[in-house]
Chain A
Amino acid sequence: MPDHDPFLAIWTRQPAEPFTLTLADIHARATRFQSRVRMRNITEYVAAGLVIAMFAWLGWLIPDPVIKTGAGLIVAGALYVCWKLHSLGRAAEVAASDHASSLADFHRAELMRQRAALATVWRWYLAPFLPGMLVFLGAVTLVADTGLPLEARLRTFVFGVGLMAAVFAAIGWLNARSVKALDAEIAEIDRVRTAGGES
């Protein structure tokens, strides 16, 4: 590199700001970082635990076998999602800790990881709840003795299914939009790596 570049001089002569971070500070901050990760995981498990506890309690409380089945399926779905969140979280921690990859590799791997999680959200986050929610909704609206005429029960069931479909469609649409944006960023990284530096 040419040593007469005036910008190199401007750059290196910038005054240093007072900054002290002792090894003890670093150790403390690293420990705090681990605690934050642990707390985030605990929060996720507590939230999943609440869903599981609530539906397990409902399944135990209500004698109707269809409602019991629906609640059981929701509990199973929540357990599966919990396990997937745990695996994805572990993968994210491993990826984030490999800071010594080249910048392009690190950034691309991070984007690919986010893309995979978003693109398959139907499979691992929404679909596991679907059977349980449909059975549970069908049980409380159609099977349970609510005293309402059949037409009113059907309307309630269809409304419930429509609401679920709308929520699922909204999540799917938002994720598809995010995946598209991530694809553009990944393509930009690939273009930069192969184009010989032109932009």
Chain B
Amino acid sequence: MNTTSDQDQLYLQAAEAFGPALQRLARATEANDERRRDLLQDMHVALWRSFGRFDGRCSLKTWTYRVVHNTAASHVDRERRTHRDAIAIDGAGDLADTHSLARTIEETDAALRLNVWIRRLKPPDRQVMTLYLEDLSAAEIAEVTGLSSGAVATRISRLKAQLTKHFKERTDA
């Protein structure tokens, strides 16, 4: 059993190492600013709570990605049930995407388009893609998601092809 200071210490270590990745995951999960901030806070709290039960069954990196991705997946599930009549999560992304046309910074626009595209993916694809973009290996992604390495590699290859096609079509348009 960890003491509270162990729990705090592990959390601080994970937040320091993966804080930016958590922000990116929140952005690729939730388009609404306010709900995204809530989700990010929920991820941090879930992470801190999880370290009260840290049992070393996997590395800190795998543990952290599992906890925050599960929190994000629960968020999407909850939003799907509670905001059925409101703008869909992906729909809100579309608004941001349309507004982004006015943006002048090309990279920011590309990041927005990337996030909108990710939000439209089914949960397993969304998880695999965001973990790939965080530069995790196929074996690491397999450990986080519970899929086989082969399945992860196939998915990444297919998703990258779709993403490239999507960006090409948008650029041509």
Contact = CB atoms under 8 A, between A and B. Distances in A.
Nearest to B151: A197
B66 A102 contact: yes
Contact of A19 (B8, B12, B40, B151): B40
A61 B20 CA distance: 65
Interface in A172-199: 189, 192-193, 195-199
B137 interface: yes
Interface in A56-111: 96-107, 110
A3 B133 CA distance: 10
Contact of A26 (B44, B107, B144): B44
B145 interface: yes
Contacts of A196: 148, 150-151, 154
Contacts of B88: none
Contacts of A197: 147, 150-155, 158
Most buried by B among A1, A102, A197, A198: A197
Contact of B70 (A14, A106, A193): A106
A197 B46 CA distance: 29
B17 interface: no
A199 B122 CA distance: 10
Most buried by A among B23, B27, B66, B70: B70
Contacts of A17: 23
A98 B71 CA distance: 11
B79 interface: no
B57 interface: yes
Contacts of B107: 10, 13
A33 interface: yes
B73 interface: yes
Contacts, number: 135
B147 A192 contact: yes
B151 A192 contact: yes
B27 A99 contact: no
Contacts of A101: 66, 70, 146
Nearest to A189: B124
Interface in B31-64: 37, 40-41, 44-46, 48-50, 53-54, 57-58, 63
Given A8-B135, A196-B154, A197-B147, A99 B48 contact: no
A15 B67 CA distance: 23
Interface in A1-15: 1, 3, 5, 7-8, 10-15
Contact of A106 (B49, B54, B66, B148): B66
Contacts of B133: 7-8, 11-12
A53 B102 CA distance: 63
Contacts of A5: 160
B27 A107 contact: no
B143 interface: yes
Interface of B: 8, 11-12, 19-20, 23-24, 27, 37, 40-41, 44-46, 48-50, 53-54, 57-58, 63, 66-67, 69-71, 73-74, 107-108, 110-111, 114, 122-125, 127, 132-138, 143-148, 150-155, 158, 160, 163
7 contacts: A7-B133, A16-B19, A101-B146, A104-B124, A193-B148, A196-B150, A199-B158
3 residue pairs, one from A and one from B, having the closest CB atoms:
A102-B146, A197-B154, A104-B146
Given A103-B66, A103-B127, A192-B124, 7 more contacts: A8-B133, A14-B24, A19-B40, A100-B66, A192-B147, A195-B151, A199-B155
